[in-house]
Structure 1
Amino acid sequence: MVNTFFVTGTDTDVGKTLVTEALMQAVRDSGLYVAGYKPVASGCEMINGQLKNSDALILQEASSNDLDYQDHNPYAFAPAIAPHIAAAQAGVTISLDKLSEGLVAQKDNEAEWIFVEGAGGWRLPISEHEYLSDWVKKEQLPVILVVGMRLGCINHALLTLEAIERDGLTVAGWVINQVYPNMSHYQENVNTLKQRISAPLLGEIPWLEGKPTDSVDQYIDIDLLFKDYC
């Protein structure tokens, strides 16, 4: 059995990649085979003749397998704009089936745990009529929510959780990420979220600007996931 999770956020730039990498590190440190998957990415640059995304490259590096870049990120777009707009500009249709094929490629390479990182927030358009969340529903993936601690995060977190649960999906856990060093009333906001979110709190990552992230898994309690999914 392959344990697969979808990592979403309360918004863009809330630390989804940092948290996904931390989760992967924690699983790998437990001796398990882990893979990272970034189905859709915009804001890519040309590297050796191929569009590549910095976040997807981090997930590729953190993976136990040695798959090619495109297996970790099948849809890569140059402009740092909403993927459905970037896709339209490129004349590309983002296919849910192709996203699933990429996930199968990870599973076929002996991954025991897979972490799929979303883009933006939960309700991300990928075409005129579809959202990335439609694919998560299709795959029936449990969801991990990254809450970027900043003004408005309580509302964003609770509304996102409501949307995930309304879509019939399980919230496997959530992670606090301190995206600013001096958020006003940080602890009071954290306490409010803890009181209102029933899903397991998998970790709280402090402000890390200028600090190495190669041991960020120390802030993740991976045993909480192991308890429910092993």
Structure 2
Amino acid sequence: MVTGFFVTGTDTGIGKTTVSCALLHTFAAQGKKVVGMKPIAAGSENGKWLDVERLLAASNISVTHQQINPYAFDPPISPHIAAQQAGTEIDLALIHQAYQELKNKADIVIVEGAGGFLVPINQSQNGSDLAQALNLPVILVVGMRLGCLNHALLTVQAIRAAGLNLAGWVANCTDPQMQVLKQNIATLEQWLNCSLLGVLPFDKKIDIQENVISVDIIKLQNCALWL
């Protein structure tokens, strides 16, 4: 049985945290113990990493910051460069250990990747290696804007080349002025060959707890790796 999902995106700042929180709230509403994990966070504001804080707030079990966020760096830059500047190197074994600790406490662990799927995390590994190490079904967040078709198709190609199960995708309407939005979503439904789990409307004041996005859990439960 699947005990979690890995949330990635077509770019950085594309809505991965919002979708991750939506998943946490949806599973929690089903009576499950849930926790969010951000293995690598880069970019703090006033000494806090907002993605981590949001995931922690959406979780319903008691965990430490260190467990859900083993690596946190101040500058909003690529993880491998941020780690270099901090005099350290990101170790997938340490992340996997933290994930196992969370897995032992929760029914569902939602892991949010850093940046795009192939962003480097150290000198020899990238986000794909992280996803493979955790071996979770992947949910792709697609930022709906000009160029998204190519970005989405390339990312899906990389996910499947890594041998990972693509459980579904979410359309995040990041550009309120995007032309032929519905046609672009329809094109991705045709070409991605996986379930569209939800559409996130453009809203600067989005509040996941008010169910502005309805994640289709039935489709997730029917994905191949759920059984």
- Taking structure 1 as the reference length, the TM-score comes to 0.93
1:61-106 CA-to-partner distances (Å, cap 9, x unmatched) read: 1111111111111100000111110100000110010010110110
1:82 and 2:78 matched: yes
Amino acid at match of 1:148: G
1:173 and 2:156 matched: no
Q: CA RMSD in A?
A: 1.5
Give the C-alpha shift of residue 217 in structure 1.
6.0
Aligned to 2:100: 104
Amino acid at match of 2:17: T
- Alignment partners' CA distance in 2, 1:132 and 1:162: 14
1:59 and 2:55 matched: yes
1:73 to 69, 73, 84: 69
Which consecutive segments of 4 or more residues in structure 1 shift more than 6 A?
Answer: none
Matches within 5 A, 1:1-230: 3-45=3-45, 47=47, 52-109=48-105, 111-216=106-211, 218-228=213-223, 229=226
Which stretch shows the higher mean deviation, 148-157 or 194-203? 194-203
Give the C-alpha shift of residue 218 in structure 1.
4.5
Amino acid at match of 1:137: Q
- Alignment partners' CA distance in 1, 2:210 and 2:109: 19
Gaps of 5+ in 1: none
- Alignment partners' CA distance in 2, 1:70 and 1:149: 33
- Taking structure 2 as the reference length, the TM-score comes to 0.94
- Alignment partners' CA distance in 2, 1:29 and 1:135: 28
Instruction: Report the count of equivalent residues.
Output: 225
1:166-190 CA-to-partner distances (Å, cap 9, x unmatched) read: 1111101111111122211111111
- Alignment partners' CA distance in 1, 2:170 and 2:213: 13
Give the C-alpha shift of residue 46 in structure 1.
5.3
Secondary structure (helix, strand or coil) at the match of 1:6 reads strand
Give the C-alpha shift of residue 139 in structure 1.
2.5
Question: Matched residues, percent identical?
Answer: 44
- Alignment partners' CA distance in 2, 1:226 and 1:164: 20
Change (3 A) 1:31 1:217: farther
- Alignment partners' CA distance in 2, 1:70 and 1:14: 24
Which stretch shows the higher mean deviation, 147-156 or 193-202? 193-202
- Alignment partners' CA distance in 1, 2:107 and 2:119: 27
Change (3 A) 1:46 1:97: farther
Gaps of 5+ in 2: none
- Alignment partners' CA distance in 1, 2:51 and 2:179: 29
Amino acid at match of 2:177: N
8 Å CA contact 1:7–1:145 kept in 2: the answer is yes
- Alignment partners' CA distance in 1, 2:45 and 2:88: 17
- Alignment partners' CA distance in 1, 2:172 and 2:88: 34
